Amino acid sequence: MTRSSRFLLPFALIALASSLAVAVPRAAAVDPYPTSGVATLSSDHFQIHYSRDVAPCPTAAISQEQAGEVLGMAERAYALYSGWGYTAPGAPVDISVDDFSIDCFAHGAIPLGTPMPHGRWDAIITPVGSDEIHLSAATGLAYHVIAHEVFHVFEDAVAAGAQQWLTEGLAEWASVRANAAAGGLEQNPDRTMDCVGSECGDSEFDRNGYPGWMLFEYLAERFGDAKVKSVLDAAAANPGWTGTQALSSVVQPLGPALGKFFEDYTTARLTGSFTSTALAGVLPQTQASIVIGSSSGAVSPVTLAVNHLAVRYVDVAHGLDTDTGPCYSASLALKVALPPLVASTPYYYANTKGAVAQAFSVSGTTASLTVPWNTCGASPHAYVSLPNETNDVVPPALDGREFTVSGTVTVDKSKPAAASEAPAGVKVIGPVVQAPTTDPAPDLTLHAPELIRVSAKTRLLRFVVFSSGDGTLKATLGSTWLGSAGLHAGNNDVRFILPTQLLKTLRKTNTPDNVLMLTSYSPGGTQGASVTRRVAVQLVKKTTKPKRRR
């Protein structure tokens, strides 16, 4: 009896599949995928070299997709700068993705003498001619970094020997423009504009000369983007020139001498008068503070030394010792003693709604200005700029020149006042953080000893408190309300005059009446954390008359 063919067909198919399975081994047994070596991708103007998982740089290994993204960003910057009219490099540019912390490079090598440790850098570019861009796999694969380094390649194509502060400032300016204004601010705004080196600040940003981008942004906003390119062209046409000479050759035919142009730039920084979203409304970091009291009298002077092509700013605070009661209208007469041979004009900015920068009137070595004032501690702080515009274009460039700010305040107690209205909120540049859905009170750090002693003669309780933002400080001593003071981001000089009746209770140091409680509140009234100290009175020693001899 024979079986039907419909039963034999499944067995035949199973036998065929088994024979194929035996004849073809698994792919991994005969064709393992590569895990070592350098992989390369190419685009129109760049080729990127990157390590596989095992070698040569396992800690810098990236995927093919990531490599393609880097190429895409480099080409995007290349097309942008070409569209601006800058001269493109003549040959394809190599990009190497590396681990700088262990000096492992996928392609080529970084220049000898690159400052150690190498892990501090996001990117390193080789000397002119080799056209290698080395990117840190950990920190250098962002568009801002790549756009900065690509612009260096464009600079090298025309002005290879230009001064570093010029080329770094220009490259950072181009990168900020390329990356929709994701620019940084210096930590040392009082550094000289043409400074590059470890002595030039507390961050790599300052030491590399990156802050120059803001000067070129001001140039572009005032005279047009093409004038920024003209500075690079001037440096290329005159290899022996300094960066300041190249900049001067562009701005002086447009009206201002270099010194005046720099002064105008520092005034724009004083008020945050930029269209760039990275700089608009950003007020400068100050290097000194003046607190104007509630009574008529002289202002305690402040002296600051300023180097060439540098500026320092002074914070001028309203009567922080008078927020316990009414405040009044006043007039503030400011004077600045200018250093000899420094033809600079200081400016004042009230930092109130609708305010503009006001120039001091200069006569010889004295600059003066009288402005409306009030003694309300909640008024926004004002600012004064002290620019030193001397430079090597019109030598000498003068360093260490002292400016002294002084003045007098005249208070009219027949005219009660209210705190001045602040301008639109100041923009803070920094990392992206989750926006709060509430109105948080600022954090406080109190710079004062655990036991604060107050003179029985003056009854002045004074301390400095650091606030993380704007708000109000409310103070109680034991069960006694002392008052409130306005807070701004940074250090606040706070003063209260203690009531006379408290002095007797403050002779001891360990009672509930000695406890000073300071509480922060947000502008909307949300209560924050409190900090405490103890306060004791410091009695005035009585002088005893010597007995007369008989």
Mean pLDDT in residue range 17-40: 66
**337 and 267 together in one domain:** no
390 located within any domain = yes
Share of the chain above pLDDT 70, in %: 86
Mean pLDDT in residue range 173-197: 80
**491 and 388 together in one domain:** no
More confident: 4 or 386: 386
| Residue corresponding to tokens 């004295």 | 366
Decide: helix, strand or coil at residue 227: helix
Mean pLDDT in residue range 127-150: 89
Provide the b/e sequence for 194-210 (b: ≥16 CB within 10 Å).
Answer: bbbeeebbeeebbbbbb
Any residues with CB less than 8 A from the CB of 262 and at least 6 apart, and which? 193, 215, 309, 387, 389, 391
Residue 422, pLDDT score: 86
**128 and 256 together in one domain:** yes
Q: Give me 145's structure tokens.
A: 């970094």
294 located within any domain = yes
Q: Is the pLDDT of residue 435 over 50?
A: no
- Of 370, 399, 417, which residue constitutes the final position of a domain? 417
Q: What is the CATH number of the domain that holds 117?
A: 1.10.390
First to last CA, the chain: 159
7 located within any domain = no
From the CB of residue 282, how many other CB atoms can be counted at a distance below 10 Å? Answer: 19
Q: Is the pLDDT of residue 518 over 70?
A: yes
**185 and 131 together in one domain:** yes
| HEC-encoded secondary structure of 269-314 | HHHCCCCCCCCCCCCCCCCEEEECCCCCEEEEEEEEEECCCEEEEE
β 46-51/93-98 pair status: parallel
**460 and 399 together in one domain:** no
Q: Is the pLDDT of residue 398 over 80?
A: yes
Q: Is the pLDDT of residue 550 over 70?
A: no
**135 and 256 together in one domain:** yes
Residue 129, pLDDT score: 63
For the segment 242-296, what is each residue's pLDDT rounded down to a tens digit?
999 999 999 999 999 999 999 999 999 999 999 998 888 889 888 998 989 889 9
Reading across the β-sheet that carries 382-388, which strands appear in turn? 288-291, 310-317, 382-388, 347-349, 358-359
**341 and 403 together in one domain:** yes
Residue 265 burial class via C-beta count within 10 angstroms: exposed 0-12, middle 13-18, buried 19 and up: buried
33 located within any domain = no
Contact 338, 403 (CB under 8 A): yes
Residue 43, pLDDT score: 97
Q: Give me 33's structure tokens.
A: 């995928």
| Residue corresponding to tokens 């003066």 | 368
**133 and 45 together in one domain:** yes
Residue 504: which domain range? 444-538
Q: Is the pLDDT of residue 431 over 50?
A: no
**Least confidently predicted of 126-140, 361-375, 387-401, 493-507:** 493-507
Q: Label residue 182 by pLDDT band (50, 70, 90).
A: low
357 located within any domain = yes
**108 and 235 together in one domain:** yes
More confident: 4 or 467: 467
Residue 185, pLDDT score: 66
Q: Is the pLDDT of residue 460 over 50?
A: yes
**336 and 408 together in one domain:** yes
360 located within any domain = yes
**323 and 398 together in one domain:** yes
Mean pLDDT in residue range 106-121: 89
Q: Is the peptide bond before 89 cis (omega within 30 degrees of 0)?
A: no
Nearest alpha carbon to residue 73 among 182, 175, 167: 175
Whole-angstrom Cα distance, residue 347 to residue 364?
A: 16
The answer, as to whether pTM is greater than 0.85, is: no
Nearest alpha carbon to residue 236 among 166, 176, 177: 166
**245 and 141 together in one domain:** yes
How many structural domains are present in the chain? 3
Q: What is the CATH number of the domain that holds 490?
A: 2.60.40.2550
Decide: helix, strand or coil at residue 82: helix
Contact 282, 427 (CB under 8 A): yes
Residue 79, pLDDT score: 97
Q: What is the CATH number of the domain that holds 393?
A: 2.60.120.380
- Of 271, 301, 319, which residue constitutes the final position of a domain? 271
Determine the Cα angle at 186 with ends 182 and 189, to 5°. Answer: 140
| Residue corresponding to tokens 């990157």 | 50
Contact 55, 36 (CB under 8 A): yes
- Of 271, 304, 330, which residue constitutes the final position of a domain? 271
Specify the DSSP class assigned to residue 6.
Answer: H
Question: What is the CA 361 to chain-centroid distance, rounded?
Answer: 31
Residue 26, pLDDT score: 52
From the CB of residue 309, how many other CB atoms can be counted at a distance below 10 Å? Answer: 27
150 located within any domain = yes
Decide: helix, strand or coil at residue 16: helix
484 located within any domain = yes
Residue 189, pLDDT score: 73
Q: Label residue 322 by pLDDT band (50, 70, 90).
A: very low
Contact 249, 234 (CB under 8 A): yes
Provide the b/e sequence for 65-89 (b: ≥16 CB within 10 Å).
Answer: eebebbbebbeebbebbeebebbeb
Residues in the chain: 550
